[in-house]
Chain A
Amino acid sequence: MPKDHGIGASPKRREDVRFLTGAGNYTDDINVHGQAYVHFLRSDLAHGKINSIDTSTAEGMPGVVRIFTGADFEGVGGLPCGWQVTDKHGEVMKEPAHPVLAQGKVRHVGDPIAAVVADSLEQARTAAEAIVLDIEELPAVVDMGKALESGATKVHDDLSDNLCYDWQFGTDTETTDAAFKSAAHVTTLELVNNRLVANPMEPRVAVGDYSRAGDDYTLYTTSQNPHVIRLLMGAFVLGIPEHKLRVVAPDVGGGFGTKIFHYAEEAFCTFAAKACNRPVKWTSTRSEAFMSDAHGRDHVTKIELALDKDNNFLAVRTDTKANMGAYLSTFSSSVPTWLHGTLMAGNYKTPAVQVNVKAVFTNTVPVDAYRGAGRPEATFQLERVIDMAARELGVDPIALRRQNFITQFPYATPVAVEYDTGDYEATMAKMEELMDIGGFAARRKASEAKGMLRGLGVNCFIEACGIAPSNLVGQLGARAGLYDAATVRVNATGSISVMVGAHSHGQGHETVFPQVVAEMLGIDESMIDIVHGDTSKIPFGMGTYGSRSLAVCGSAMVRATEKIINKAKKIAGHLLEASDSDIELKDGMFSVAGTDKSVAWGDVTLAAYVPHNYPLEDIEPGLEETAFYDPANFTYPAGAYACEVELDPETGKVTIEKFVSADDFGNVVNPMIVEGQVHGGIAQGIGQALLENCAYDENGQLLSASYMDYAMPRADDIPHMASYVVDHSCQTPCTHNPLGVKGCGEAGAIGSPPTVVNAVIDALHSGGHTHVSHIDMPVSPSRVWAAMNGQ
């Protein structure tokens, strides 16, 4: 029987009632009395020199409160980058200024030039049209290869070139070269990991408010991590001390990474609220989101895999160019390096792994973390090249993977991380069982009878989640700690508020976190509420990304609850006239071991707040504890994915007919929510593989800036329920956090893109198109058709 409460149960989400009845409180639903509205005038050129901005006519237009340009932000800090990468020569990365509003130059389509604050949004928009810009168009650098050529136009004039850093990591060159020289076979693949836009359905919003009475600020914003925004914006941009700045991220409509970062619009609304002495609100349109939300992926990679005569992996070597866009977004520099290079060993015991990454500035929107962040890029390269090697060698791709699996744990990879636990054979076997691999030949035959080609794609993946051990990431260049925090406040009658640093923007923390505390205390989940998203209420935690909420913040919550239990046992011991070491807690009752003496949870909590009969000489009254938790290691979820596609040789259209994921997330607190996370991740992975592409032309014009041009996955792009299984029954608990959890938020998006592409190549080969070794994503009908026809 599945559990009906506590850890391992799937209670209905308590968030749902407000969302299903229209009672959610998203940032755009917040209106502050007297607010003005801001419209940003954004660059329609990819690159240009600002000669002049004439706002004189616009300033006199109806409703205009004030117009700001870059000149108003002279002396104000720029948007900071949170991770300083050191390159292979020991030099720190180039870090250009990132002003709130453009100064001197515009560097991408969407770069904000001026901000019009007016009584109404319509008045702000109308006035913006009256601003006269004199911007001299400059040649744009869009292609990373061209951006790195000597003499290329520079995105930042004060830098020597467009190379942000040239990073090398893992096995040394001599050892790697020797492995390749000794190889019986080398497979080489060049590929593109396509640029994507995260597209949470709620566009970004910021409302800045300032009180002269207290000289303090409030920012309401669509953020995954309000404390990070408070720190970055307060300390690095606007110079506001933390106690004068409150950041609230209320209900947030999806994030997927793109709402981690500190954006110019947040700083602007906060700054302008004081400058105008009025609250200032900005609501992004979707078109604006496409040109101002940080983009994701955009890597160009050459990967080589060396194998010995028995098909054992000897070495992996990669050479990647990673697009940074025009400025360094908050965590941009860490994505192609520490979130990517460290995963290049995959699930395999390859002795030599060397990763080379050049990060490049271009005249495009900044690129940063998007669901998976670096790990999908690593997985895609590795699992594609392994599949290609299997095909070249004529061996079974599953057997080739199996033969090279890591089987002993802990395992230290050549790329700095140590996998604590895993069982890659178990997830592979589970995938094979659920996929009915044995029945594939018959299904292919049935497809062929309809004139369709059918392909089977399989792959494994591993990711590093539960981000992250502070001392390790500090050595690697992080400018922040990556612990998290929780405060457990037990009230007098025994109900509990848990204030957490993690932020829920779809993950269901309000449901899941109480399951853990309820299990530990043996009380009903309905007695526990989670408070998140408001820096004035929650302890200093780092927020939600990198599949970290339960592994890191949940661990802090466990530690704080343990402190509660320890203190409550002391109180119970006093009430029961026994030593606290003899007190046991079970089902919400404290009892003296081996006796029938007991006292209920509620009596103990009441005693803590009404301490008439209480050991005041030993312990303080009250029952509230905070814990900060810094993980000892990353967590390493892993899995095996498979899909079958049908490919129409007449049109090149690919349809996913069957999909199976077999994940190992360690322990699972709420299976329903875990499965939902995987469904969402796989849909985004299918989107990347078949549909989505953020496209620029050679002049840096953004071609895909709306849902008419950017293909979001729809309901009919996802396999039907009869042929779609997400499984998480293989569980090797994490060995270093108290819950044994590994994180599940990103797995689907990491594991699924190579699954789909491997299946497409398999389908093409089955149809005799053996000259097609790779098709870049998105594998659109036109790309498939062109590849089939040798174009």
Chain B
Amino acid sequence: MTKVTMTVNGKTVSGEVKGNTLLTEFLREDLRLTGTHVGCDTSQCGACVVHVNGEAVKSCTMFAAEADGAEVKTVEGMANADGSLSVIQQAFQDYHGLQCGFCTPGMVMSAAALLKDNPKPTEAEVRDYLEGNICRCTGYHNIVRAIMAASGQDVPAVAAE
């Protein structure tokens, strides 16, 4: 067992982990941050995306020990300080960008990472960026609209082009 210490959603946390404990297991089982989901076992669905030191990471592909000393952000840490939904979260609700909600945490975290690097993505860039996030409910249409809206773009105008 190895002791790890990291900052998760702004709080310093520590725990004893095995060498093969995945970051997603540490978050879900040890910290009980169950917003991060596991939808596959081949690192493809993206339901487990979190931010590690500001970068989007599939937490099922990273050992908890590798995140020692890192700054980790999960969907539980995405709302505004007053508890209201962040711009991206609010856009997902406004544009009905979620149905069952299972892929949603990964979608929100991926969207945030996209908009950090590319604040005004084209529709094609949004669709391309979501290659690593699978949704079975929405058909992606409203997720793409939500992300475009969260970036401040006029979605009806884009749709009318």
A residues at B contact (CB < 8 Å): 12-13, 15-24, 26, 28-29, 199-203, 251-254, 256, 285-287, 505-508, 672-673, 675-676, 679-684, 706-708, 712-716, 718, 720-722, 724, 748
**Size of B's binding interface in residues, CB under 8 A:** 59
Residues of A within 8 A of B63 (CB): none
Within 8 A of A (CB), among B94-127: 94, 96, 98-105, 108, 123-124, 126-127
Complex-state Cα separation, A527 to B136, whole angstroms: 32
- Look across to chain A and name the residue whose beta carbon is closest to the beta carbon of B86: A20
B49 interface residue per 8 A CB criterion: no
Q: Is the CB of B39 within 8 A of A203?
A: yes
Residues of B within 8 A of A684 (CB): 136, 139
Q: Is the CB of A21 within 8 A of B101?
A: no
Q: Is the CB of A254 within 8 A of B131?
A: no
Residues of B within 8 A of A16 (CB): 92-93, 98, 101
User: Considering residues B76, B141, B160, which has the most beta carbons from chain A within 10 angstroms of its beta carbon?
Assistant: B141
With A20-B104, A675-B96, A716-B124 already in contact, 20 other A-B pairs whose C-beta atoms are closer than 8 Å = A16-B98, A17-B93, A18-B101, A21-B35, A26-B102, A203-B38, A251-B101, A253-B37, A253-B102, A506-B99, A683-B139, A684-B136, A706-B40, A707-B44, A707-B134, A708-B42, A713-B139, A714-B131, A714-B134, A716-B130
Q: Is the CB of B98 within 8 A of A20?
A: yes
Of B51-59, B64-72, B142-150, the segment with at least 4 beta carbons within 8 Å of chain A is: B142-150
Q: Is the CB of A715 within 8 A of B158?
A: no
Q: Is the CB of B131 within 8 A of A715?
A: yes
CB distance from B114 to the nearest CB of A (A): 11
**B interface SS class:** loop
B23 interface residue per 8 A CB criterion: no
Given contacts A13-B93, A29-B34, A286-B45, contact A201 B99 (CB under 8 A): no
Complex-state Cα separation, A700 to B33, whole angstroms: 40
Complex-state Cα separation, A721 to B127, whole angstroms: 11
Q: Is the CB of A23 within 8 A of B98?
A: no
Complex-state Cα separation, A463 to B47, whole angstroms: 33
CB distance from B75 to the nearest CB of A (A): 4
B41 interface residue per 8 A CB criterion: yes
Complex-state Cα separation, A673 to B100, whole angstroms: 12
Q: Is the CB of A707 within 8 A of B142?
A: no
- Look across to chain A and name the residue whose beta carbon is closest to the beta carbon of B47: A201
B151 interface residue per 8 A CB criterion: no
User: Considering residues B36, B123, B137, B144, which has the most beta carbons from chain A within 10 angstroms of its beta carbon?
Assistant: B137
6 cross-chain pairs, A with B, having the tightest CB-CB distances, nearest first: A22-B35, A19-B101, A253-B102, A683-B139, A506-B100, A506-B99
Q: Is the CB of B139 within 8 A of A680?
A: yes
5 A-B pairs within 8 Å (CB atoms) are namely A18-B101, A22-B33, A201-B39, A682-B139, A714-B131
Residues of B within 8 A of A254 (CB): 99-100, 102, 136-137
Q: Is the CB of B40 within 8 A of A679?
A: no
Q: Is the CB of B45 within 8 A of A683?
A: no
Q: Is the CB of A508 within 8 A of B123?
A: no
Residues of B within 8 A of A506 (CB): 99-101, 137
Residues of A within 8 A of B41 (CB): 285-287, 706
